Every structure is written in C-alpha cells, then in structure tokens.
Structure 1
Amino acid sequence: MTAPSRATRTTRLGDFAGMMLAGAIVLSAALTGCSAQTAAGAGTQPEAPAAEATGTPATELRLGYFANVTHAPALVGLEEGLLQDALGDTKLSTQVFNAGPAAIEALSAGAIDATYIGPNPAINTYVKSAGASARIVAGAASGGAALVVQPSIDDPSDLAGTTLATPQLGNTQDVALRTWLADEGYETDTTGGGDVAIAPTENAQTLTLFQSGEVDGAWLPEPWVSRLVVDAGAKVLVDEADLWEDGAFPTTVLLVRADFLAEHPETVRALIAGHVASVDWIAANPDEAATVINARLDADTGKPLSDAVIERALEHVDFTVDPHAETFEQLLDDGVAAGTSKPGDIDGLFDLSALNAVLEDEGEEPVSAAGLGTE
C-alpha cells in the first residue's frame, strides 16, 4: 500500500476535526475534574485511605475495563469467575470502555467504583483532584504498546506531514506518541496541528482507517498493534518497551475511587485478591490463556481475535501486579510536556497496602510504591 501524499493528508485533517474536538472536550473534563470529590479536595493533599481501616463490605462493586489484551487480568478474572469468587456476596457489575479518559469520567461521576486503566489518566485525575479522587491499588500489565505504520514508512524522518492515531486524547498511548515525536524533533498540538497530525480515534475505527490509507499509523495497545500487523500489513516502527529501562513500563493498573476505598476497604481487598488470582492464573495456564481471553473478548465485542493475532499480542505483554511506580514521575512529566496533563504532586497516588497484605499471605514479595504512597 502506498502512503498518501502530503497534500492528501492535509486535506484529510478536516475529516478528523470533529473527532479531535470531541477528544479535546474529554481532555478538558479530565484536566479540570468533574466530580464532587474534586471540588471537596481542591487545595488539599489528603492522606491515602488505609486499606486496613474499618468499613463495611459493599453490596455492589462496579468495575470498568477495556476489551484489550492489556486488560487480560480483568478478562480472565471475569471469564473464570475469579473476581466474583473473591468478592463473595458483593455483586460485581462491569462496564467496558475504549480508553482511559472516558473511564475516568465515569469514575469521577461515581458511575463506577474501580477500573483497569492506563497510568496517565490515573495521574491526571489524581493531580486535578489534589489527591481526593482515586488510588492505584495494583498493577495489571506491562508492555504491549507500539507505533505501527504503513509499509512505506521506514524511518522517523518519513513521518513529516502524516496522520497518526491514538485511542483517545490524553490516554497513555496518546502521551507516549506525543513524547516520542517531540524527542524526534516534531511539533504536535492537542487539536491535530503541527508537523505530525495526531487523530484520537476509537481502536476499531483506526484499523478501518489504516486499511483504507486514511491514517498512516497509530500508537496502540494490544491486541490492536497485532491486529494492524496481522490483518492490515502494518509494521512496527517503535516498540514502546525499547524506550524504557529493562523494557518495563506500566500499560494497565487497577484504580479505585478514594471514597469507595475508605468506605469499603474489605471489598477492595477482596477485589485485589481476585485480581492477584487472575494474574497468577494467566502465569500458571499459558496454554489456556489465549482461549479464555478470547472468549471474553468475543462476549464483549461480538467477535473473537484470530489465533495469529492473540498469540502475537500475548507475546508482547507481561502481566504483573507491580504497577512500576518508579516510572510515574516520568509519566507525569511526559504528560505535562505533551499538553495533556497539568503539573502537580502525585505523592499518595498509590495505596498498595492491601495488595502487599494479599501477597504476604501467599508468601510472595511485596511491591514498592516508590515513595509515592503506602505499601
């Protein structure tokens, strides 16, 4: 497939204007905060709610997640019943999202109590609420994100004048793309201008636009990287793992609304126990994992992944309860430089006390909050 000309790409930017405006509105909501917790917490830095504090079990826990391979602990936990088993009498209800900023809107509005999510939206809600909105209580996945491009693009220097997609303005892959482009000497902005146009686009639509040549590439999480490679002939220009020390960086974490954590610490600990069981199940059942993950994806999206896609995707993701807290200061700096985050203090973002209690019970090593919260 031949890459479109610069003139064609420039004309095409108008087609994305509405999409980018919608993304900008979502980003504005994420940056300004839209919950009662945000207003109440303005100007203060409350201590993280202690997971061992007294409280009552919740009658229901509303959980968000994405239909992505990078959210496999949620997919496996739901498909195998591990999350509900751990929650006991607490009813588990779920909602599927496309990207982090939309999940944060739901969390801030009180529509969900916890969500699997990328790190940058978690950082944004914490900063804008002055620490009142939510806590990261565990990691879920590392790796599994990349920039894939049309076959005619061989080098970063070929990207001038192109249009690249991300899942949503201000989400983790969006920030990663903007940061990498800046390092390569390109200017971008949050309205689609600059040397390279960035078009926040729903993942399934990105695949269609890539196949028709309407976008030249995309920075995506799995399984969408593999979908574009296997189903659309894309090639990987940048594997994000190559940009981090030892290839370790957080793709997905488990975030809980701070009020819910304070009111129902026993329920949160049960959720974490189910989450740990899901991550352990994936590690212990490598031959079955693809089938179970695919079954949940089929239930959520109406279509399973091909064997080639899911096998490739799983090769590029590590599932871990470690949120890699040591990377979050850099992630915040990257978001600020990209124009999708506001500067702020993320001390207290993590409450890993319940996670480490569960790990201790299983005889496993504790996980570090890197000085950014309780352990």
Structure 2
Amino acid sequence: MRNKVICLCTGVFLCLGRVRAEVAIRVGHFPNITHAQALVGLANGAFQKTLGDVKIEVRTFTAGPSEIEALFAKALDLVYIGPGPAINGFVKSGGELVVIAGACSGGASLVVRNDLPIKDPADFRGKRIASPQLGGTQDIALRRWLKEHGLAPVEKGGDVRVLPMSNADQLTLFVQKKLDGAWAPEPWAARLVVEGQGRVYLDERTRWPRRQFAATVILVRKKFLSEHPRLVEKWLAAHVDVTAWIKKNPALARALIHQEIKRITTQSLPDAVIAQAWDRLEFTADPLSSSLTRNADSAYELGFLGRRKPDLSGLVDLKPLSKVLLAKGRPPIAP
C-alpha cells in the first residue's frame, strides 16, 4: 500500500512538473526596426535564456489594431505596439490592457514627393496623404497636424485626402506618383525617401519636448500580469538588457535586425534605408508616459476614443519595470 501511495504521489509531482514546463508566453510584434528589441532578443536567444524553460510563442503583425484584436481574443499575452492602438486597447478593454515599458522613441516622418512644390502646410490642400491604418499612431499624428494648421480630411469637410493603407501599398503608390505624401514609421519613411525618391518634409521628433515621443511600447494583458508576475518581470529584464546591447552595439544590432526582417518578410532592405532610419530612432525602456497622454488627448479630440473622455489613470503600470531596474542597480523611471 505504501508503495502505491509513493507511486501515486510521484505521478502527481511529475504531472505538475509537466504543467509548469508547459507555461508559455505568447508575444506579438512587427517585423519593423521600431520593434528592434523583439527582433534582436528573439533572434539571439536573449529572451529564451532569461525565461528558461518557458515556451515563447511568437506572431508577427503589420498593424497595431490587429494585435489588439488578438489580445482581446486572449490569443496573445504581450505585444510590442504603437501608442495609438495601445491607448485604444486600454480604453476599449476597460483597463484590462496596460503599458508596462517603452521600446522605441521617434521614427516617424511626413514624407512628400520630391517633384512637388510643397513648402508650407497650405500646399497640402488637394493632396493625397497616406497613413498606415485608420486610428493608428501615425494616422492620429497626421490628422492632429492637419488640424493644427487649419486643414482637414475630405470626409471632415476639408480638402486633404487622407488615405489609410498598408506601408507596402504606400511605397508602391508613392513610386507610381499616385500618392503625394505619407506619414510613415521607420523603416518605411526611409524607404519612401531612398526608393521612392521622396524627401522628409517633417521629422515628428521636432514636434515633441526633447525630441522624444513613444513610438513603440510593451502592452500586456493585466490578467496575465497578475497570474505570471515573475514571468513578465523576466521578460522585462531581458528587454532592458537587449535595449542596452542595441545601444552599445549599433552595427551588430542593425545587421541582426536586417537579417530578421528579411527572414520574416522575405524582403531585404537597402543598407541606406537601415542607416537613415536608424538615425531617427532612440531605443529606450521608458514608455515616455507624457507623450502617451498627449496621444490620447489627440485621439479623443479626433473622435477615436468615444464621446466621453476616458480616464487614463491606469494606462501605464511601471511597478514591474521599476522592480527590474532596481534589481539591476538602476534608478526607476519616473511616471
């Protein structure tokens, strides 16, 4: 009888061991230079090394709203994403999605055709200007800029045709001269310049204090965070280390990012594109919370967050990141 009990207990412990080993984290990101930490850390094994036996399941996306839908469906746990969709996801989920770190600052520009005499905001009247997706980060930035200069999209009674479309379609139509400009993230802004013979009319960094604004943040399901706090902290620890490695080894990082983008998209980027895009980016774990608030205000004013101004007091949770930074002997990031 005693042997049977021992065997039974052993079987239970083995079963529990298998359950623990099968814990996974499901991560989403773009094959995009602004999601550099995801590309580098997954490629060089930094995340897997820090997480140990935890399985990492990865999905790639080309638009933030699609990542939000996957989070709502509980098909993902953590994503690298732009601030626009992150804020929208927080609001629509009733606070069930929260920002826990930053990844990238900068990396967005308004690029126009070089053969057009566009010098002042008034010159955009009657023009066809693209953004990656309706309600996305660059779409909000474009519409806010138009509004500030007394311009408006055609559907709002203005005379600027704002055309949300994929970045790849932007480049194709730009080359064909069927688009006059685009507010695009890197490396697509650089591609419009290098491959599309365009020029940067406006580097978005010039519109922000200290030339810093959140381009990519880390968003997590709050339930996953509460159920697996140590796992999320380990991910953030690796994220911080990868960020430091990228900044210390820019040439190696650029080569690895280039390699991963080519592997995922089957398309190679010209060295000139990577170099130009890199110069307009800053990699940081700071979510730059004040820029998120300003983005949210713009999204609300433009009608993307409903009729009632949302309460964003719980949008950013820096406690896990602060714990990680303190463990590494670094000061926490101020809210």
Q: TM-score, normalised by structure 2?
A: 0.90
Post-superposition offset of 1:199: 1.1
Does residue 301 (structure 1) correspond to residue 273 (structure 2)? The answer is no
**Separation (CA, whole Å) in 1 of partners of 2:103 and 2:138:** 16
Give % identity: 45
Residue among 167, 172, 184 paired with 2:137: 172
Secondary structure of 1:64's counterpart equals strand
- Structure 2 unaligned residues grouped into runs of 5+: 1-19
Q: RMSD across aligned C-alpha pairs, in angstroms? A: 1.5
Judge which range, 340-349 or 248-257, deviates more.
Answer: 340-349
Structure-to-structure mapping, 1:191-206, within 5 angstroms? 194-206=158-170
**Separation (CA, whole Å) in 2 of partners of 1:58 and 1:192:** 51
**Separation (CA, whole Å) in 1 of partners of 2:284 and 2:34:** 11
**Separation (CA, whole Å) in 1 of partners of 2:46 and 2:292:** 29
Note closer, same or farther for the CA distance 1:76–1:364 as it changes in structure 2 (3 Å cut). same
Secondary structure of 1:318's counterpart equals strand
Post-superposition offset of 1:349: 1.2
Judge which range, 294-303 or 148-157, deviates more.
Answer: 148-157
Judge which range, 295-304 or 335-344, deviates more.
Answer: 335-344
Question: Which residue of the partner structure matches residue 274 of structure 1?
Answer: 238
Post-superposition offset of 1:58: 7.0
**Separation (CA, whole Å) in 2 of partners of 1:345 and 1:267:** 28
Residue among 208, 212, 218 paired with 1:248: 212
Question: Which residue of the partner structure matches residue 350 of structure 1?
Answer: 316
Note closer, same or farther for the CA distance 1:326–1:150 as it changes in structure 2 (3 Å cut). same
Secondary structure of 1:225's counterpart equals helix
Residue among 165, 181, 195 paired with 1:231: 195
Measured against aligned partners, the alpha-carbon deviations of 1:116-158 in whole angstroms (never above 9, x if no partner) come to 0011111111122221x21111000000101001111232211
- Structure 1 unaligned residues grouped into runs of 5+: 1-55, 370-375
> Letter of the aligned partner of 1:345 in structure 2?
D
Q: Runs (4+) of structure 1 moved beyond 3 Å?
A: 191-194
Question: Which residue of the partner structure matches residue 51 of structure 1?
Answer: none
Note closer, same or farther for the CA distance 1:329–1:82 as it changes in structure 2 (3 Å cut). same
Work out whether residues 177 and 219 of structure 1, in 8 Å CA contact, stay in contact via their aligned partners in 2. yes
Question: Which residue of the partner structure matches residue 83 of structure 1?
Answer: 47
Does residue 146 (structure 1) correspond to residue 112 (structure 2)? The answer is no
Question: Which residue of the partner structure matches residue 6 of structure 2?
Answer: none
Structure-to-structure mapping, 1:100-111, within 5 angstroms? 100-111=64-75
Note closer, same or farther for the CA distance 1:185–1:256 as it changes in structure 2 (3 Å cut). same
Post-superposition offset of 1:350: 1.3
Work out whether residues 83 and 214 of structure 2, in 8 Å CA contact, stay in contact via their aligned partners in 1. yes
Work out whether residues 57 and 265 of structure 1, in 8 Å CA contact, stay in contact via their aligned partners in 2. no
Does residue 367 (structure 1) correspond to residue 305 (structure 2)? The answer is no
Secondary structure of 1:232's counterpart equals coil
Post-superposition offset of 1:106: 0.9
Which entry has the higher C-alpha Rg, 1 or 2? 2
**Separation (CA, whole Å) in 2 of partners of 1:57 and 1:367:** 33
Residue among 130, 138, 141 paired with 2:94: 130
> Letter of the aligned partner of 1:59 in structure 2?
V
Work out whether residues 142 and 248 of structure 1, in 8 Å CA contact, stay in contact via their aligned partners in 2. yes
**Separation (CA, whole Å) in 1 of partners of 2:128 and 2:93:** 33
Measured against aligned partners, the alpha-carbon deviations of 1:42-74 in whole angstroms (never above 9, x if no partner) come to xxxxxxxxxxxxxx8871111111111111111
Measured against aligned partners, the alpha-carbon deviations of 1:274-318 in whole angstroms (never above 9, x if no partner) come to 111210110111221110110110111101211110011111100
> Letter of the aligned partner of 2:42 in structure 1?
L
Structure-to-structure mapping, 1:62-101, within 5 angstroms? 62-101=26-65
> Letter of the aligned partner of 2:233 in structure 1?
R
Work out whether residues 152 and 158 of structure 2, in 8 Å CA contact, stay in contact via their aligned partners in 1. yes
Secondary structure of 2:40's counterpart equals helix
Measured against aligned partners, the alpha-carbon deviations of 1:225-249 in whole angstroms (never above 9, x if no partner) come to 1000011111111111000111011
